Every structure is written in structure tokens, then in C-alpha cells.
């Protein structure tokens, strides 16, 4: 449902109006559109340009209906109910009009459905079948007229498949506030273009992929890396490992016909081994590692600011595990880059560890390791290609693939994921915690960090302060959230792991830790503006920001479609898996992960934020006033993009 419609509904929801749609009486709040009324009551009205996350557009004309008293059919997505009306959505006139509209769309839609990544999940394809289109009375192009935009590291754009529904434009403008797409031209020459008609690599796109998950056809897709991964698997000289993030695991079942909210974590392990991956690891291990590094960095910043009175310390500290958010900061707020945590994302931390510690443990040459990550995100493809991400001496993560890509690989191997037997992750990176799991939901990184920081400082179990260790104040789908965490007057001893960073906790007695959370770049802008204006978020110590609405569980690489209902189902599955960790005796806090203790004992021996961990697990983005676009990745403009402080 769009923001505008929600407002109209909310302000007048006490006034109910009864309308009739196809003979069925329906009572809805005044201001509800006919399309919304129909969907709420299981009356099917087709559409292509409408998406419940976006404002109504009325451009495709497929949702037209006949309203008694109206001379011509109206678009149901933009027609608000203000009085009792009689609506007909299935008349012969409407049926013929819809079929002709689809035929006209197909007359300009070029592409071989069989080779399209959206084959079987294309809204235009579905509507053509639904409307009974059997031929092309207005013609059908058989040769491509537009070249593919392959300039970016993450997204591919095929304008021959664009139907000008405007969803990508509204997604980029309304949800993200980025505005990299626009309509250009008029009439027959009207088209969707990018800023200055440049390739995606050159328009400061943040690669979030939200346009992909709302595109009804294959006009926007992820860059497909599966052929290269199959080639690596088939190469006997290569040791191919994969790490899987929590969000794809609770959503990949949707690619196999399951309802949203069914976790396939353990079946996925089996599928990946049968695909040929030599080892299957849990990204939650490096999520726990990220919490330790990022949490101790926050403690260090607070100590310098509060005790040493260092005015140069950048607070609040922003999370840095979302590459779309980081890229946005580089594009539009380079002056605030010091606020970003220097901790790498879990994906990149894992990549560094795989080609150093893991390679040494197993006697494998790093150049023979092909490191793959399964992520919910298209921006991760850009992130792993950044020139900074080579601290192992090699490209730390060779390929980052989306949930959709891995689902295709599993299907290509002839498997039906839900039917597979479950299996565990491989050691030494198969041990993780519930804190790593909740990274996938907005507020999850914050909650995971607080679980550990609270125990570090107070010496208490977080369960003593929050029931079942669930820090509810930082959960939810509100766009911008603020919470305060009170530190008791009695604090505990500094854990041995971080004694090299602070001498005691006396300086935190009775302090209030203020935190913020935002998801979606448009909401991130609101927080940045609030900080600039000296608002409440300027008083925060730590702020989590994710580029995608709902967090990673709605990333640009996740199954299509996405709706608020689907996002909520995925979030429920994530928190349920975290809960199951507690019920089955598995750790739910990052510092309790035995694999984390092992890596600091055997490899990162100087502890969190030590020299070796800083070399491998941290990065400082110092691009002042420069656009870190896909086009500049690896070029002279970013050659010195990493500034390590020894």
C-alpha cells in the first residue's frame, strides 16, 4: 500500500463505505482505492505498474474497471472510494481492453522467454496467459534494438524488456531517495532512462537492487555469476567454499513454491554439497566476529570521547556492514565517512579469514581457493570487487551470489530443496550464534551488538535485563527508531578479551547508551538530516543503517515478489531460528561462540582491534568528495581508498 493511500485511509478510517464489486458487497474505509478494496477481499484485478510499496501510478491501464456513473473505465489503483458505487471488473469490454493492452505491450517487448532469468516469474508472461493472448496482432520484435547495460558489477539492464511501468523510477525515488531513473521522451519515443542516459556504473547507483525486486519483467536483473562458479566447481585444482547468510536461508524456499517464512538452512547445506561445493560455511560465524570487532571499536571510541576527551572522535558510530549504505555515504556524505565503523562486513571478514587462517590450517594455497558468498544483496557483488577487499593478498571473496542465483543452481542440479535431508555446516566455521542470525532483520545488528556489549560492561547476563535476551526496543519495521539502554551503577570486570583496550568500566557507570536504527536509504537521509540539525539522533552513540526496507531480509537479491507481508514472514522466521538456538542449548550471543574464542586464541592473538585484526578485518573509507562508482572501482581514483592506521 502506498504512503499516500495509507494517509488517506488513516485520516478517515472511521467513516466506512459499502461498495459492490462484481456483485460482492465490500465495506472499506473512505479513501481506500478500488484496487485495495478488491485485494483485501480476494477479488482479482490484474495490474503491472502497481506495487503496494509504491504510490499509485495508473500507467499500465490493466487494472481498469467500470464504475457505474462513469463514462469510461477508470484505473482502480487510483480511484478512491468516496461514496457507494457499483464496480464491474470482468465485463466483456474490460476483458477485451486488458487483452489488447497486453498485446500492445508484447508488440514492443523483445526477448526469448526461455532464456530470461525471469522465465516463470514474470508478471507480463503471467498476464499474457491469463488474458488469453495466443498471437501477436500488433506484431512482436524478434531482434534486439537496445544493447544490454553490462557496465555495473551488480545489475544488468535490458531495455528491450522494459514495459515502462515506472516501478523502478518510483522505487529509486520514493523508497530510496536516490532517483537514478527517469522517464524521457514523449509518446512513441517515451522510455525509462538513467541520469544523463549513462550506464548504471556511472550514475552513482548504490546497487541495492530494490528496482530488481519490483520490476515486473526481466528488464532489471542481477549480474549472473553462476557460469563462473560452475566452472570453478568443475576445476579439480580449485577448492570451492561457500558461506551462506541467514536471510537467504529463510527465503530460498519461496523459489521452490513454499510460503514465505519457511527456513531451509539445513536442507540448503545438503543441496550446496550436492552441487559440488567442497565446504559449506555459516556467515553467522563472521557476523559474530563482526560484532566483537565493531562492538569493541565502539567501546574504544566512547572511551576516547568520554574519558580522554578526544574531540576528534566521530560519534555516533555508524554500522558499515551494508555496502549499499556505505556507497551512499561515499556518494552524498563523504564528510561523514569517519562515522562509519571500520569493521568490514561479515562477507568480507569471512573472505579474509578463508584465504589466510583457513588456508594455512588446511595447507591450501590461497590462489587455489574460490570463495563464494550467498547473500540477500546485489550490492555485495560490488563490495567484493572493491580494490580495498584484498587484504589476504588475493581477492578475498571471489563471487557473491544472490538467493535467486543459488536457487537456479540447485534446480539446474536437478534437486527440489524442500525434499532434501538436513545436514550441518562444516567446521571450523559451522559454529555460530543466534546473534549472527538476526543480522538479517532491521535492528538485528544493533541487538546482536547490545547483547555482547551489555554483558561485557555489566558482568550480568543480558537475560537478567531483557527476557530471553530479546531486546525488543530495537526491533520492528518503523523507518527510524531510537532507544536508550541504561547502564547500571554496578559494573563488572573488563573481560580478558578486551583488557588491552580499556582499564575498567567505572566511566560507564549509570550512563545511558543511546542508539538509532533505520532501514531504507530515504530513512537514512532523515537520520542524517536530524544529526545535522542537532536532533535526538545527534546524541546517539551507535546507529545501525541498512539500505533495504526491512533490512537484509528484503535485499535486492532475494526472491521476487516482496511485500510488507512477505518481509514480516521472513523476519518472523529469522527470530524463530534465533529462539530455537536458545531452546536447543546453542549460544545466542556472539562472544559465547567457541569458534570466535578459538580464532582469537590461535590467529588474531592481539585480540579485537589489534594489529592483525585491523589489517584483515577493518577498512577505512576515505574517499573525500569522490564518487565510488562501479566505473571507478579498481581505477586510479580509488587506488588509495584504504587508509590503514597502524
For position 369, which CATH number holds?
A: 3.40.50.1780
Tell me the three cell numbers of residue 154.
551488480
CB atoms within 10 A of CB 325: 25
Residue 14: what pLDDT? Answer: 66
Q: Does residue 297 have an active-site annotation?
A: yes
Residue 624: what pLDDT? Answer: 34
Residue 276: what pLDDT? Answer: 98
Q: Among the options 161, 327, 344, 380, which is catalytic?
A: 380
The CATH number for 178's domain is: 3.30.70.20
pLDDT digits (tens, 9 = 90+) for 465-491: 999 999 999 999 999 999 999 999 999
DSSP 172: I
Q: Among the options 321, 377, 480, 548, which is catalytic?
A: 321
Residue 626: what pLDDT? Answer: 45
The CATH number for 45's domain is: 3.10.20.740
Q: Among the options 341, 352, 385, 613, which is catalytic?
A: 341
Q: Are 562 and 213 in contact (CB under 8 A)?
A: yes
Residue 628: what pLDDT? Answer: 56
Residues 319 and 263 both lie in one domain = no
Q: Among the options 388, 455, 544, 577, which is catalytic?
A: 388
Residues 421 and 452 both lie in one domain = no
DSSP string, 475-522: -S--SEEEEEEEPPSS--PPPGGGTTT-S-SGGGTT-EEEEEEEESHH
Q: Which domain holds residue 157?
A: 112-222
Residues (pLDDT < 50) of the chain are 1-13, 623-627, 634-646
Q: Does residue 341 have an active-site annotation?
A: yes
Q: Does residue 293 have an active-site annotation?
A: no
Q: Among the options 36, 173, 293, 383, which is catalytic?
A: 383
DSSP 375: -
Q: Does residue 321 have an active-site annotation?
A: yes
Q: Does residue 146 have an active-site annotation?
A: no
Please give the model's pTM, rounded to 2 decimal places. Answer: 0.92
Q: Does residue 238 have an active-site annotation?
A: no
Residues 169 and 189 both lie in one domain = yes
119-136 core/surface letters (b: 16 or more CB in 10 A; e: else): eebbbbbebbeebebeee
Residues 573 and 550 both lie in one domain = yes
393: in domain:
yes
pLDDT digits (tens, 9 = 90+) for 45-92: 999 999 999 999 999 999 999 999 999 999 999 999 999 999 999 999
Q: Among the options 63, 131, 165, 552, which is catalytic?
A: 552
Residue 123: what pLDDT? Answer: 97
646 vs 643: CA distance, rounded Å: 10
Residues 504 and 594 both lie in one domain = yes
Q: Are 177 and 227 in contact (CB under 8 A)?
A: no
- Domain tally, the chain: 4
Q: Are 641 and 628 in contact (CB under 8 A)?
A: yes
621 vs 388: CA distance, rounded Å: 9
> Residue ranges of the alpha helices (H) in 139-179?
167-170
**Strands across the sheet containing 239-244:** 279-282, 239-244, 369-374, 399-401
What are the two backbone dihedrals, phi and then psi, of residue 617, each rounded to the nearest 5 degrees?
-115, 0
Burial (CB < 10 A; 0-12, 13-18, 19+), residue 365, is: exposed
Residues 438 and 416 both lie in one domain = no
Amino acid at each position: 500500500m502506498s504512503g499516500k493511500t495509507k494517509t488517506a485511509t488513516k485520516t478517515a478510517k472511521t467513516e466506512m463505505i459499502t461498495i459492490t464489486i462484481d456483485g460482492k458487497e465490500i465495506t472499506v474505509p473512505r479513501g481506500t482505492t478500488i484496487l485495495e478494496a478488491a485485494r483485501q477481499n480476494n477479488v482479482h484485478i490484474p495490474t503491472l505498474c502497481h506495487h503496494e510499496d509504491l504510490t499509485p501510478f495508473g500507467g499500465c491501464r490493466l487494472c481498469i474497471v467500470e464504475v457505474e456513473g462513469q463514462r469510461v473505465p477508470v484505473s482502480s489503483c487510483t480511484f478512491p472510494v468516496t461514496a457507494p458505487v457499483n464496480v464491474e471488473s470482468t465485463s466483456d469490454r474490460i476483458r477485451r481492453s486488458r487483452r489488447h493492452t497486453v498485446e500492445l505491450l508484447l508488440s514492443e517487448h523483445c526477448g526469448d522467454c526461455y532464456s530470461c532469468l525471469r522465465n516463470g516469474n514474470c508478471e507480463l508472461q503471467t498476464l499474457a496467459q491469463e488474458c488469453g493472448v495466443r498471437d501477436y496482432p500488433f506484431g512482436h520484435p524478434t531482434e534486439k534494438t537496445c544493447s544490454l547495460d553490462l557496465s555495473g558489477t551488480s545489475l544488468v539492464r535490458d531495455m528491450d524488456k522494459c514495459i515502462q511501468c515506472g516501478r523502478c523510477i518510483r522505487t529509486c525515488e520514493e523508497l530510496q531517495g536516490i532517483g537514478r531513473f527517469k522517464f524521457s521522451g514523449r509518446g512513441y519515443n517515451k522510455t525509462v532512462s538513467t541520469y544523463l542516459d549513462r550506464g548504471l556504473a556511472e550514475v552513482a547507483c548504490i546497487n541495492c537492487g530494490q528496482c530488481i525486486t519490483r520490476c515486473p519483467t526481466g528488464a532489471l536483473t542481477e549480474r549472473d555469476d553462476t557460469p563462473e562458479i560452475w566452472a570453478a566447481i568443475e576445476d579439480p585444482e580449485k577448492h570451492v567454499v561457500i558461506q551462506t547468510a541467514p536471510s537467504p536461508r529463510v527465503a530460498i524456499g519461496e523459489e521452490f513454491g513454499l510460503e514465505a517464512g519457511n527456513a531451509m538452512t539445513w536442507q540448503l547445506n545438503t543441496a550446496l554439497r550436492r552441487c559440488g561445493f567442497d565446504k559449506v560455511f555459516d556467515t553467522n560465524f563472521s557476523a559474530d566476529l563482526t560484532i566483537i570487532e565493531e562492538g569493541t571499536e565502539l567501546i574504544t571510541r566512547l572511551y576516547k570521547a568520554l574519558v580522554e576527551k578526544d574531540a576528534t572522535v566521530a560519534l555516533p558510530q555508524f554500522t558499515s556492514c551494508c555496502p549499499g549504505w556505505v556507497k551512499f555515504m561515499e556518494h552524498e556524505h563523504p564528510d561523514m565517512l569517519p562515522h562509519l565503523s571500520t569493521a568490514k562486513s561479515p562477507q568480507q571478514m569471512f573472505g579474509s579469514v578463508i584465504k589466510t587462517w583457513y588456508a594455512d590450517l588446511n595447507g591450501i594455497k590461497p590462489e587455489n581457493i574460490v570463495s563464494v558468498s550467498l547473500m540477500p544483496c546485489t550490492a555485495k557483488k560490488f563490495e567484493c570487487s572493491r580494490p580495498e577487499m584484498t587484504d589476504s593478498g588475493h581477492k578475498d571473496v571471489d563471487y557473491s551470489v544472490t538467493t535467486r542465483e543459488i536457487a537456479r543452481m540447485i534446480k539446474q542440479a536437478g534437486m527440489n530443496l524442500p525434499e532434501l535431508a538436513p545436514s550441518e555446516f562444516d567446521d571450523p566455521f559451522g559454529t555460530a550464534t543466534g546473534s549472527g542470525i538476526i543480522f538479517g532483520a532491521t535492528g538485528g545488528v544493533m541487538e546482536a551488538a547490545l547483547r555482547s556489549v551489555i554483558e561485557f560492561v555489566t558482568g550480568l547476563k543480558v537475560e537478567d535485563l531483557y527476557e530471553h535476551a530479546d531486546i525488543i526496543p530495537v526491533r520492528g519495521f518503523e523507518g527510524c527508531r531510537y532507544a536508550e539502554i541504561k547502564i547500571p551503577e554496578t559494573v563488572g570486570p573488563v573481560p580478558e578479551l578486551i583488557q588491552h583496550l580499556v582499564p575498567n568500566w567505572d566511566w560507564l557507570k549509570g550512563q545511558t547508551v543511546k542508539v538509532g536504527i533505520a532501514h531504507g536509504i530515504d530513512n537514512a537521509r532523515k537520520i542524517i538530516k536530524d544529526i545535522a540539525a542537532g536532533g535526538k539522533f545527534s546524541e546517539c552513540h551507535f546507529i545501525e543503517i541498512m539500505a533495504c526496507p526491512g533490512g537484509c531480509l528484503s535485499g535486492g537479491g532475494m526472491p521476487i515478489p516482496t511485500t510488507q507481508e512477505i518481509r514480516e514472514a521472513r523476519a518472523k522466521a529469522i527470530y524463530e531460528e534465533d529462539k530455537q538456538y536458545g531452546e536447543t542449548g546453542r549460544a545466542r550471543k556472539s562472544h559465547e561462540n567457541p569458534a570466535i574464542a578459538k580464532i582469537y586464541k590461535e590467529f588474531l592473538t592481539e585480540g579485537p582491534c589489534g594489529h592483525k585484526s585491523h589489517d584483515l578485518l577493518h577498512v577505512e573509507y576515505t574517499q573525500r568528495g569522490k564518487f565510488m562508482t562501479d566505473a571507478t572501482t579498481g581505477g586510479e581514483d580509488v587506488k588509495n581508498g584504504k587508509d590503514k592506521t597502524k
